[in-house]
Chain A
Amino acid sequence: MIETATQGVISGVMMGAIYALIALGLSIVFGVMNVTNFAHGEFVMLSMYLSYVVGTALAWDAVVTPVITVPLLFFFGIITYHLLLHRTLRQMYVVQLAVTVGLQILMRSAALIVWNAQPRALQYSFIQGNFEIGGFTILTSRLVAAVVSLLFIGGIAYFLNKTWAGKAMRAASDDFDAASLMGVNYKRTYALTFGIGSALTAVAGGLLMSFQQTDPVGGIRFGLLSWCVLALAGLGSIPGLVVAGIIVGVAEALTVSFFDPRSRLLAVYAIFILVLWLRPRGLFGRR
Chain B
Amino acid sequence: MQRKVYQLFLMLIVAAMVLGACTPTPATPAAKKLPAEIVVGVVQPLTGSFAVFGNEGKIGAELAVKHINEAGGIKSMGGLKLKLVVEDAGDNADSAKLATESMISKNHPVAILGLYISRFVMAASEVTDREKVILIADALVPQITQMGRQYLFRPGPNATNHGAMAYQFIKETAKAQNIEIGSLAILNEDSANGRANSLGATEQALIDKFPITTTLEYPYDITDATQIVQQLKQANPDVVIHTPYFNDAIVFGKAFKETGYYPKFIAGAGACGYVDPESIKALGDAAEGISMTFSYNPAKNTPQNKKFVEDYKALKGYIPTEGAGMNYYDAMVLYEALEYSGKNFPDDPLNPDNLRKSFLALDLKTGPAAETYPSPEIKFNALGDNQFPGVVVLQVQNGEPKVVYPPAEAEAQPVFPNPHYK
* Chain A contacts to B: CB under 8 angstroms: 4, 7-8, 11, 112, 116-119, 121, 123-124, 128-130, 137, 139, 141, 211-213, 215, 217-218, 221, 253, 256-257, 261-262
Contact = CB atoms under 8 A, between A and B. Distances in A.
B218 A213 contact: no
14 contacts: A4-B230, A116-B47, A116-B51, A117-B49, A117-B91, A118-B52, A118-B247, A121-B251, A124-B284, A128-B254, A137-B259, A261-B222, A261-B228, A262-B218
Chain B interface SS verdict (over half)? helix
B286 A213 contact: no
A117 B46 CA distance: 11
A128 B258 contact: yes
Given A119-B247, A212-B224, 17 more contacts: A7-B230, A112-B48, A116-B48, A117-B48, A118-B52, A118-B247, A121-B282, A124-B254, A124-B284, A139-B226, A139-B259, A213-B223, A215-B221, A217-B221, A261-B217, A261-B228, A262-B218
Contacts of A261: 217-219, 222, 227-228
B214 to A, nearest CB: 13
Nearest to B283: A124
A124 B260 CA distance: 13
Contact of A213 (B91, B234, B250): B250
B221 A119 contact: yes
A124 B420 CA distance: 15
Given A117-B91, A257-B227, A215 B258 contact: no
A3 to B, nearest CB: 8
Interface of B: 47-52, 91, 190, 217-219, 221-224, 226-228, 230-231, 234, 246-247, 250-251, 254, 257-260, 282-284, 286
A215 B259 CA distance: 23
Contacts of B250: 119, 121, 213
B49 A211 contact: no
B58 to A, nearest CB: 15
Contacts of B246: 118-119
Contact of B259 (A118, A121, A130): A130
Given A116-B48, A121-B282, A124-B286, A11 B226 contact: yes
Nearest to B47: A116
A212 B247 CA distance: 11
B227 A11 contact: yes
A5 to B, nearest CB: 12
Contact of A139 (B258, B283, B284): B258
B282 A123 contact: yes
Contacts of B259: 130, 137, 139
Given A117-B91, A118-B51, A218-B223, A124 B247 contact: no
Contacts of B224: 211-212
Contacts of A253: 227
Contacts of A116: 47-48, 51
The 6 closest A-B pairs by CB, nearest first: A119-B247, A117-B49, A261-B218, A262-B219, A212-B223, A128-B258
Contacts of A218: 223
A59 B305 CA distance: 36
Contact of B51 (A117, A123, A139, A211): A117
B213 to A, nearest CB: 16
A262 B190 contact: yes
A191 to B, nearest CB: 32
Contacts of B47: 116
Nearest to A140: B258
Contacts of A139: 226, 258-259
Contacts of B227: 7-8, 11, 253, 256-257, 261
Nearest to B222: A261
Given A137-B230, A262-B218, A213 B257 contact: no
Contacts of B221: 119, 215, 217
A119 B49 CA distance: 9
A121 B49 contact: no
A264 B213 CA distance: 25
Name the residue among A213, A253, A257 with the largest chain B CB count within 10 angstroms: A213
A211 B254 contact: yes
